[in-house]
Amino acid sequence: MSIFDKCFAFTRAEEAQQLGLYPYFTPIQEVRGNKVMIDGQEVIMVGSNNYLGLLDHPQVKQAAKDAIDRYGAATCGSRFLNGTLDIHVQLEKRLAEFMQTEAAVTFSTGFQTNQGIITTLVGRGDAVITDRMDHASIIDACRLSYGEVHTFHHNDMDDLKRVLSSLDEGIDKLIVVDGVFSMEGDLTNLPGVVELGKAYNCQILVDDAHGLGVMGINGRGTAEHFGLEDQIDLVMGTFSKSFASLGGFVVGGAKVISYIKHHSRALIFSASITPASVATALATLDLIEKEPERRERLWAITDKMRSGFQAMGYDTGPTQSPVIPVMVGDDAKTFMLWKALRKQGVFTNPVVYPAVPHGQALIRTSYSATHTDEELDTVLACFEASGKALGILS
For 224-260, the pLDDT digits (tens) are 999 999 999 999 999 999 999 999 999 999 999 999 9
Q: Where are the beta strands (DSSP E) in 153-209?
A: 173-178, 203-207
- 277 Cβ neighbours under 8 A, 6+ residues apart: 64, 239, 245, 246, 247
Identify the active-site residue in 135, 150, 154, 210. 210
From 172, 167, 182, select the one nearest 131 (Cα to Cα). 182
User: Given its phi and psi angles, is residue 244 left (phi above 0), alpha (psi -120 to 50 degrees) or beta?
Assistant: left
> What pLDDT score does 394 carry?
87
Maximum CA pair distance of the chain? 62
pLDDT tens column, 340-361: 999 999 999 999 988 888 899 9
Which residues of the chain are in CATH 3.90.1150.10 domains? 10-45+292-389
Q: 368 catalytic, yes or no?
A: no
- Give how far Cα 288 sits from Cα of 16, 98, 176, 232, 357, Å: 40, 10, 26, 22, 35
In percent, how much of the chain has pLDDT > 70? Answer: 100
Looking at residue 296, its pLDDT comes to: 98
What pLDDT shows up at residue 345? 97
Tell me, yes or no, if 210 is annotated catalytic.
Answer: yes
Provide the pLDDT for residue 354.
87
So what's the pLDDT on residue 355?
Answer: 85
CATH of domain 58-290: 3.40.640.10
CATH number of 10-45+292-389: 3.90.1150.10
Say whether 241 is catalytic: yes
Active site residue: 57, 88, 150, 241, which one? 241
| β-strands 234-238, 248-252 pairing | antiparallel
What sign does the dihedral 157-158-161-163 (CA atoms) show? negative
Residue ranges, the chain, pLDDT below 50: none
Cα–Cα distance for residue pair 221/187, rounded to 1 Å: 11
- The residues of the chain that CATH labels 3.40.640.10 are 58-290
Question: Measured between alpha carbons, how far is 370 from 275 in angstroms, rounded to an integer?
Answer: 26
Point out the catalytic residue in the list 182, 240, 277, 386. 182
Q: How far apart are CA 129 and CA 126, in angstroms?
A: 10
In 3D, which of 309, 329, 334 has the Cα closest to residue 319? 309
Which of 292, 278, 287, 286 has its CA nearest to residue 249? Answer: 278
